[in-house]
Amino acid sequence: MKHYYDNRAPEYDDWYRGIGRFARRDRPGWDEDLQGLQDDVAALAPARTLDVACGTGFLTRHLRGEITALDQSERMLEVAAERVPGAELVSGDALSLPFDDDSFDRLFTGHFYGHLQDPDREAFITEAHRVASELVIVDSARRPDHEPEEWQERVLNDGSRYEVYKRFFEPDGLAHELGGGTVLHASRWFVMVSSRSRQG
């Protein structure tokens, strides 16, 4: 995965912007839903926030407060550094966060949780609640043209191919999975859920 995301960093935002390899995808309502998601991220109350797996910082830039952004890909962090100059950028592993307990008010993560299989999924949730009291997850919404979980072949501009595990979420289902939570965004393309504790 590290190799894939390092290689994808310069072209990652093409997915958001609907350009390059994504120009011909039929994505009705994408721009409106993406704007709505960004508005809802910006509406989160200012807080000491850790953005885990921040990627290029496309969503990080909308977070308010004291922002720390972590990713394992140096090339992703290079793009994020330009986009979010006010954030502290950290190279590290989401499953073993280099921070003390309760270092943050909120752990935010976009389009990362849905790539995790057990036991990494459990390990991440445990790590998230160790370092922050609130966990906010943004991910892809369940859609009729995808299975709830699947292996996808991803092709980069240089023709390299990767197999990627990916889940798609119903907002209430994600909230339930997190042991209870609040749905902060639900659209055709995206979900955002906040969870304060894990009760089972």
Binding site for ligand SAM (CB under 6 A): 1, 5, 53-55, 58-59, 71-73, 76, 93-95, 110-112
From the CB of 13, what's the least distance to ligand SAM, in Å?
8
Of the two residues 73 and 194, which places its CB atom closer to ligand SAM in the complex?
73
Query: Cα–Cα distance between 87 and 48 in angstroms, integer?
Result: 11
Half-sphere exposure (Cβ direction) of 173: Cα atoms closer than 13 Å: 11
From the CB of 114, what's the least distance to ligand SAM, in Å?
9
Q: Sheet containing 65-71: which strands, arranged edge to edge?
A: 88-91, 65-71, 47-52, 104-110, 132-140, 190-195, 182-186
Of the two residues 111 and 185, which places its CB atom closer to ligand SAM in the complex?
111
Q: What is the 3-state secondary structure of 21-61?
A: HHCCCCCCCHHHHHHHHHHHHHCCCCEEEEEECCCCCCCHH
Of the two residues 58 and 104, which places its CB atom closer to ligand SAM in the complex?
58
From the CB of 56, what's the least distance to ligand SAM, in Å?
7
Of the two residues 30 and 112, which places its CB atom closer to ligand SAM in the complex?
112
Query: Cα–Cα distance between 100 and 50 in angstroms, integer?
Result: 12
CB-nearest residue to ligand SAM: 55
3-state secondary structure of 150: strand
From the CB of 19, what's the least distance to ligand SAM, in Å?
15
From the CB of 3, what's the least distance to ligand SAM, in Å?
10
Residue whose structure tokens are 């998230």? 128
Of the two residues 15 and 196, which places its CB atom closer to ligand SAM in the complex?
15
Phi and psi angles of residue 83, each rounded to the nearest 5 degrees, phi first:
-80, -35
From the CB of 12, what's the least distance to ligand SAM, in Å?
7
Q: Is 46 in contact with 67 (CB distance < 8 Å)? A: no
Of the two residues 74 and 197, which places its CB atom closer to ligand SAM in the complex?
74
